Amino acid sequence: FTGDFATLAANPHLFNDLSYNSAKDFVSVGLYARYPILLVVSSQVPANNLEEFLKWAKANPNATFASSGIGSPQHLAAELFRERTGLKMTHVAYRGGAPAVLDLLAGTVSFALMDASTIVPQMKSGRLKILGVASAQRIKNLPDVPTLDEQGLKGFEAFAWQGLLVPTGTPKETVETLNKALSEVLKTKEVADYFAGIVVDPWFSSPGDMAAFVAKENARWGQIIRSQGITLQ
C-alpha cells in the first residue's frame, strides 16, 4: 500500500490518536514519485521573481497565502518559506488544491507554495505567475523557471512524495521482490508518460533509502509543525 508525506511525515505530529505508528507498523519497499512544489502568485502581485516578491510581501504584511489544507505539504512548505524569509503573511487553508487555485486565480489570496500538478494546467490562463521551484534542481516541465535556491534562498527544498509500504513482519525476500517490480514499472514508457502528464517526477529508491528518507522527513517537518504550533486535534 501507499505511504506518503502526510501519513509518514506530517500526521504523526499533527494527531495524538493515530491508529498506526508510522515508525513501527510499516516496512519501506521504495519511493516512486516526487511532486514538485512551486512558488506561485496571483497576476495581481507585482513581482516576477523571488527578490521582487519578497520586497512586495514585506511591504504588504496583511497579504494571505493559500494551501490545500492545514498540515498539507503545501501548507508546511509555506511555513518553512515563512520561517526562512521572515514573512508575516496570513494562512488561508482550503479543502484541496482546486479551490485554493481558484482563489489564487481570482486574486483573493496572494500566493501559495503549490504542487506543480495542480498549478501547471492553470498557467495558460495568464492569471498566475510561477516565480520559482522549491526543488534542488529545475524541473523538466518548466526548464526556464529557476529554483528558489538559485534566486538566493539557499538550500530551500520542499516537495510531496509517495512510496510503497508493507506491514512490519513481511519477509525480506518479499520486500526485495516488490522493490524490483517497482523499479521495472517505473522504467516503462506508460508510467513515464503518465507522470509527465501530471507534472510528477518518477523517483525510485531502495527500501533502505526510503526508510532513511522517511525518518529524515519525519524529523524535519515535525520540527516545523511544533515550532508553528500546528495541530489538527
DSSP string over 162-227: EEEEEETT--HHHHHHHHHHHHHHHTSHHHHHHHHHTT-EE----HHHHHHHHHHHHHHHHHHHHH
The alpha carbon of residue 127 and the mean position of all alpha carbons in its chain are separated, in whole angstroms, by: 22
pLDDT at 233: 59
Mean pLDDT in residue range 135-153: 95
Mean pLDDT in residue range 142-164: 97
Percent of the chain with pLDDT over 70: 98
pLDDT at 136: 95
For the chain, the average pLDDT equals 94
230, 70 Cβ separation under 8 angstroms:
yes
